[in-house]
Amino acid sequence: MILEMTASVFISEGSISSRGTSETARFIAARAEEGRSQLQNSYTLGLRGKGVFDELCMVAQNWQEPNWDGYGAVPVTEEAYRLAYRFLESLPLGTPAPTVGAEPDGHITLDWYRTPRRTLSVSVSPDSELFYAALLPGPRKENGTEQFIGDVPLSILDLIRDVTAA
Amino acid sequence: MIQAQSPGPVSANEKVARFVTVGKWIRADQTIRQDAFVPPKDLELSVTRHLKLSEDELWNIGQKVAEEVGQKRSATLHGRADITASQVFQQNLKAEAAPRPANPNHAHITGWPSGKSEQKNIAQELAVAAGKAVLAPKRPV
C-alpha cells in the first residue's frame, strides 16, 4: 500500500525537490529520495529492469582508458559515471529507457530516440553539467545546458516527453 | 619526416567517411548516434575523403584507425558514416584537407561553435545526413 502510494507520487510528479530549508523538509526529502531510488532500482517499476544501469556500468568500464575511440578520446571518469547513475535514478518512474554511450570528451550520453529527426541526447559531464540537444518534428531544434543538482531539469523532462510521446 | 601529399581542398560534392570504432555508435536500426560526430576537444573531427579510393582501400584506412584504440580494448571497426562535404558546409562547418603519412585523404571537419550543446545539435544533423551506417565487412581472423 505504501509502495503503491509512493510510486504513484513519483510517476506523476517525478522527483521531489530537496531544497526545503527546515529540518523536517530535509528529512522528508531524504526519505523520499531513498524511496525513489529503491523504486527506480526495482525490476518491475524502474529503469533497472530495462538494463540501463547495466549498460551504464559497461560503458564506464569499457571506456576508462584514453583513446577508447581511436581518435584520442578522453576516458570516462568515475565522477561522470556516478552523476549519470544519479541522473537515471532521478528520472520519474515510467520514463522510457535511454540508451547509454559516451563522447570523445569523456561525457556519458543518454539517448532517447524514435527517429533520426525525433531524438534527444543528454551529456553528463563530470562537473555536474548536463548538455542537451534535441531534434524534433516541425522541424524544431532545442539545445541547452543545465546544472545537475539532484533533480532532472524540467526542460529535459519536457524534451523526453516530446521525443517519446506516441 | 615524410610529408603526405595533399589531394587539394575538399570540394562540396565529395564524400567523406567517419569511421565508427565504437559499436554503440550504431543503433539497432543502423542509424548513427550523434556521439560519432561530436568533435573532440581540439574541435577537429577526423574524417577520410573517399576521392578515388576503392572500398577495400577505404576499409583498410578504417582498420588502421580502429587499431589505434587503446591496448585494453579489442580493436574493432564497426562501420562508417558517409556524408558529403556539402552537408558539412550546410551546418556552417568547414572540411579541410589534413593529410597524414598513412592517410593522405585524411581531413578535418572544423569551424564548430564553442558551446557543447550547439555542437551536439550539429552532430545530430550530421548523423541524420549520414543515414544508415555502412557496416564493415567481416574480416577473416
ipTM of the complex: 0.89
pLDDT value of residue A104: 94
Residue A7 has pLDDT above 50, yes or no: no
Residue B105 has pLDDT above 60, yes or no: yes
For B35, the closest of A62, A66, A109 (CB atoms) is A109
Over pLDDT 90: what percentage of chain A?
A: 61
Cα radius of gyration (chain B): 14
Contact A131 B124 (CB under 8 A): no
Please state the rounded mean pLDDT for residues A119-134: 98
What is the DSSP track for A58-94? HHHHHT-STTTTSS-PPPPPHHHHHHHHHHHHHSPTT
Q: Which chain A residues contact residue B65 at CB under 8 A? A: 70-71
Strand segments, DSSP code E, in B88-140 are 94-97, 106-110, 134-135
pLDDT value of residue A44: 53
Mind telling me how many Å the CA of B43 is from chain A's nearest CA?
Answer: 10
- Among B114, B124, B104, B97, which Cα is nearest to B27's? B124
Contact A123 B124 (CB under 8 A): no
Q: What rounded mean pLDDT belongs to chain B?
A: 90
pLDDT value of residue B6: 73
Residue A9 pLDDT level (bands cut at 50, 70, 90): very low
pLDDT value of residue B70: 53
For A65, the closest of B40, B70, B115 (CB atoms) is B70
pLDDT value of residue B52: 87
pLDDT value of residue A49: 66
Per DSSP, B137 falls in state: P
Q: Which chain A residues contact residue B124 at CB under 8 A? A: 119, 121, 133-135
Which of A17-31, A49-63, B69-83 is predicted most confidently?
A49-63
Please state the rounded mean pLDDT for residues A122-149: 97
Please report where in the chains the cell 541524420 appears, as a residue: B128
Residue A21 has pLDDT above 80, yes or no: no
Amino acid at A26: R
Mind telling me how many Å the CA of B52 is from chain A's nearest CA?
Answer: 24
Contact B34 A121 (CB under 8 A): yes
Over pLDDT 70: what percentage of chain B?
A: 89
Residue A15 has pLDDT above 70, yes or no: no
Q: Please report which residue ranges of B26-115 form alpha helices under DSSP H.
A: 55-67, 85-90
pLDDT value of residue B65: 80
d(CA A20, CA A148): 17
Please state the rounded mean pLDDT for residues B100-120: 95
Residue B8 pLDDT level (bands cut at 50, 70, 90): confident
Minimum mean pLDDT range among A33-42, B9-18, B127-136: A33-42
Residue A131 has pLDDT above 70, yes or no: yes
Cβ neighbours, 10 Å, residue A55: 19
Cβ neighbours, 10 Å, residue B3: 8
Residue A39 pLDDT level (bands cut at 50, 70, 90): low
Q: Which chain A residues contact residue B100 at CB under 8 A? A: none
Residue B2 has pLDDT above 80, yes or no: no
Contact A116 B31 (CB under 8 A): yes
